[in-house]
Structures are given as C-alpha cells and as structure tokens.
Amino acid sequence: MIKLGLRNFDYFRVRNHMINNLSRPFSLVFISILTIGLSLSSCSKKRESPFPRQPKPTGNTGGGGTGGGGTGGGMNTNSQRYRDITTRNWKLADFSETYSNPNLTPLTFNDVDPCVKDDIHTFATDLVYTRDFDAIKCVGQSADEYKGTWTLKETETKLDVDGDVWEIESLTSSRLIRSKQSTNSAGILTITREVYQSL
C-alpha cells in the first residue's frame, strides 16, 4: 500500500486554499482529481483469508515456539505431534461457535457452508500451509487453493496458521481438535472449536 506521507498532508487546508484563491470551475476539477488520487492511494489488495467464516483474533496472540532442535522458531521436527500433523491431510469433521451474548445463536457444523466442509488442509514439512478448495468453491473464490505458513508454538500446544493462533486440544494421527477465543470491539466473547479428521 502506498501511503505517500498522508499524515503530513493537510487535505482540507489545501482544498480551502484552492477554493479561496482559484476560479470555481478550476477549483472543483482540481479538488475532484485530488480526492480520487487520495482514494486510490489508500486502496490495497486484500489477501483471501484461509478461514473466511471465523473472525480474526483480537490482540497479540503470538509468541515464539519452544522445544527441541529443528525449524520454525525451535519447533521440534522429531516430535510425535509434528509427525502427526505433517504426514496427513485433514478435512473439517465438526464445528461449533458460541458467544457470551445470549441473544446470539450458536453455530454448529450444519451452519458451515458445503464449500468449506470439502476443503482439504495440508501442513507440509517446509512449514507451508495449503488449503485445497476441492470440488466446491465458495462465492468469490477463483483460485483452486490457498497457500500460507504454519508452525507449532509454545511446546506444541498452539497451532499458528498465518498469525491465526489456535489452542490444540488434541492431536493424534487421526484427529486434530483446535479452539480459540476472541473478543470483538463490543466486548462479545466468541469461542470457536473445530475438529478435523485425517484422510
């Protein structure tokens, strides 16, 4: 994103100066061009989220990983959890989302779009995360897959996918259960839990 030093640029001062010192037709043309230019400079191309249904966590939930030798900030590439998650592909098998606000209806696996249920998730040994959108694509998805990064953190109790950090409740060769909590600007706590089955 190009910012062009907009913090030091007083748009309204320039606009008022042009209105007071130039002829009206020219001022309006100049102001229109200036407004369009500022709008274009503030635009950025958004990256497709790997988890479009879930909100991003608020606050800083990261942290350096710990453990034995290997790659990924101290991640132990010889551990059982590392071998379990990297030697299999995964598909969503269950989902729930509850809220601290009783007026909000909890979500279940039945609420998940079919275009999300059929996605195949892969955590490669080179720390590349791949989400294959498979046969059913969600509205607005043009690519066949999404690629990002992943790592295990905090003695392999957390799974970080592109900065989206989840608690690992359970991880075996056949099942991955992860959860996270997030609070929005209105103070509503959201608890999301996902269960993945290995393929």
**What is the average per-residue pLDDT within 156-178?**
97
Domains and CATH numbers, the chain: 6-41 (no CATH), 80-198 (2.40.128.270)
Beta bridge partners of 148: 129
Task: Name the average pLDDT for the chain.
Answer: 75
Q: What is the DSSP string of 110-178?
A: GGS-HHHHT-EEEE-TTSEEEEE--SPPPTT--SSEEEEEEEEETTTTEEEETTEEEEEEEE-SSEEEE
> What are the tens digits of pLDDT across the range 69-126?
333 446 899 999 999 999 999 999 999 999 999 999 999 999 999 999 999 999 999 9
Predicted confidence at residue 9, as pLDDT, reads: 36
Write the DSSP symbol of residue 69: S
- Quick: pLDDT tens for 3-42: 334 333 343 343 344 334 444 444 444 444 444 443 444 3
Q: Are 195 and 93 in contact (CB under 8 A)?
A: yes
* pTM for this entry: 0.64
C-alpha to C-alpha distance for 18 and 5, rounded to whole angstroms: 21
